[in-house]
Structure 1
């Protein structure tokens, strides 16, 4: 079910909730820019996140990585922290290991600030893959630095198509994850890191059969993290939750004003 805008007393439908989506920064060389522009900064966004937000009834906007998180949150109704590279292990008190991929300190700083600002403002946050891990680190948790391919559920294998549901997740009873997906459900899997020590206020809402934490949520704030990639499925309940929660919060705030 998608979030539906309810007309106000004038008969006009209110504006769709504005949902900010993070991306990553590269250079013009990635897109074959001509000589002289190959080192130009480039903002990159995977379009399936925006498509999923809009299918759920939201209005998607891509967020510049060097914007101020607090100023953005003042204008937004919800936030998606997208997938991507490893979070810097120094953020949770460890040194980069032999399997650490590319680290982007600027992105870490921006997205951690965005999570904290969104929680402070009371707007919903959805973290996907890396975004799930960013939420945990932002709230003082740590990560498993590397999941070996061929062990457990082989989470880091890229052998399957993006939409292939490679393994089952068991939801914790009474969680948002259970309400959205049921007690057991299959997910796709493309991650070599995972949540280890939970951050403040977070619970493990879903786990793979090998014990890897696959989803987290906050006890008191509208924060949901998933280790799989729901944006690939073209209408996943996680995005419905994000938009519906944003609408509900905005409606409650207007009624209280």
Structure 2
């Protein structure tokens, strides 16, 4: 069986390398390394405005990761921006929403990471807490700068997430926002302060999202789960032609 192809959405930011300083489509390399380490082939998916591009990709992808990044545009969930909400990227929001629509129609396995979880909740008609420290009175979920917060989470028994990572684990977080409402999903992990740290869609399809960054951890059980689901999806898609 060939390795499944996993699409990874990217940032579009000003970047510098060598003698160049330009707008670039970038993603921390840990994502691609984690996908490769678990048996997948990573493909980067920068924001695209072409109509139908997301649908066209579904025939070529076996799985999708909605990656971390900037805040989601509050206008997408009918809210005024909080003073701490900043740097949203309408082009990326629109592209990833189109990808989620196409993935849902195709039954493609999806994993959301940090911002990806927030966008998936908003895509489903949900709402965000725009600044989690206002609710929990601490900043441990995002200590600042390029530092991850170590957060202990408890998974919900019987969920797909619990089967993949166990009952309790310490995760690497970097989010000042969190999910408030998440229609169509069930909670699958929370921090001790009550913050929703993971959600998943019920049913057979792998559609799971976490607030933490599994690509940074030595244990990449979540990405391994996505890659296994993508392999099964690819095999099922080929089955009629092979019959």
Structure-2-length-normalised TM-score: 0.90
Instruction: List gaps (5 residues or longer) in structure 2.
Output: none
Per-residue displacement from partner, 1:139-166 (whole Å, max 9, x unpaired)?
111111001288257312137854x6x2
RMSD in angstroms over aligned alpha carbons?
2.1
CA distance in 2, matches of 1:145, 1:131: 15
Deviation (angstroms), 1:32: 6.1
Q: Which residue in the other structure is 2:73 paired with?
A: 88
Q: Which residue in the other structure is 1:233 paired with?
A: 217
Q: Quick one: which of 188, 191, 202 aligns to 1:205?
A: 188
CA distance in 2, matches of 1:226, 1:143: 14
Structure 1 SS opposite 2:133: coil
Structure 2 SS opposite 1:75: coil
Deviation (angstroms), 1:233: 1.3
Q: 1:146 to 1:224 in 2, by over 3 A?
A: same
Instruction: List gaps (5 residues or longer) in structure 1.
Output: 1-13
CA distance in 2, matches of 1:42, 1:161: 23
Q: Quick one: which of 85, 106, 111 aligns to 1:126?
A: 111
Q: Which residue in the other structure is 1:215 paired with?
A: 198
1:24 aligns with 2:38: no
Structure-1-length-normalised TM-score: 0.85
Q: Which residue in the other structure is 1:242 paired with?
A: 226
CA distance in 1, matches of 2:224, 2:192: 26
1:44 aligns with 2:26: yes
CA distance in 2, matches of 1:116, 1:228: 23
CA distance in 2, matches of 1:216, 1:185: 15
Larger strand share, 1 or 2: 2
Q: Which moved more, 1:152-161 or 1:111-120?
A: 152-161
Bigger Rg, which one: 1
Q: Which residue in the other structure is 1:114 paired with?
A: 99
